[in-house]
Amino acid sequence: MKGLTGKRVLITGASSGIGAGMAKVLAREGCKLVLHFNRNEAGIEKTLKTVTEFGVEASILQCDFRQPETLNAFFQQAWSVFDGLDGLVNNAGVVSKTTALKDADGTQFMNTLAVNLQAPYLLSTAFAKACIAAKQGGAIVNNSSIHAQATCEWFSAYAASKAGLDAMSKVQAVEWGQHGIRVNVLAPGVVPVERTHTILSEPNMAKKWHEKIPAGRYGTTEEMGEATAYLLSDATAWMTGSVLTLDGGLIARGNYPSR
């Protein structure tokens, strides 16, 4: 990807799944990486091993995004690893599934928003302030979901957090464009990761999903990494405030019966 070699990028939630796929592709493109994780130490060590095999510099940092008071110190530490950052990938998130009636006090709802929306807000703002102070531009990629566009039962907290992330990204793109800071969104569809691979690979489940997806298959974590690299690269230098949907056509088709 044009202009990525040597770029310094922080990826949150890089211990597994899409975050690990992003890290692999960005390492292949020559980026220096700060890799965040919360609890999955084995996973982040695996990601670190993968990226360093590409010959790039990489560092690991831990933070629990459910504790917003720790995020500023975490970001300052991340910024200092390579004496600055050129890119921020807000990938860390939780997938919560519950009905509103089962979460009547809103505990799960608020915890979901803390990780999926409040943390990206605080990290993006810290990144923008640091870039402006350093008199440099920057690029932010926020990992959202097709649930921000069309959702279903059990996903009120998750869908709300991702819809908020989409809207927040557009506002920040407008506010920070004058400073050369771009903010774009990646909206993945169904992408099997470690925690969902078994159930999504079950033949009946796979058949049900594949029939709904015009492309006829799931996406991959590396494909999400390729899209992230594109959004961070100079190829999208005039792209900001946009949502890039990668779902094999699932949302475009809607839930109409096959004809």
| Pairwise CA distance, residues 6 & 25, whole Å | 14
Cβ contact 146:250 at 8 Å = yes
CB atoms within 10 A of CB 174: 12
**Residue from 105, 94, 22 nearest 58 by CA:** 22
Cβ contact 5:26 at 8 Å = no
The enclosing H or E element of 186 equals strand 181-188
Residues found in the chain: 259
Encode 69-82: b = buried (16+ Cβ within 10 Å), e = exposed: eebeebbeebbebb
CB atoms within 10 A of CB 61: 17
Encode 14-43: b = buried (16+ Cβ within 10 Å), e = exposed: bbbbbbbbbbbbbbbbebbbbbbbbebeeb
User: From the candidates 121, 158, 218, 230, which is the catalytic residue?
Assistant: 158
Q: What is the DSSP letter of 34?
A: E
State yes or no: is 158 an active-site residue.
yes
Enzyme catalytic residues = 158
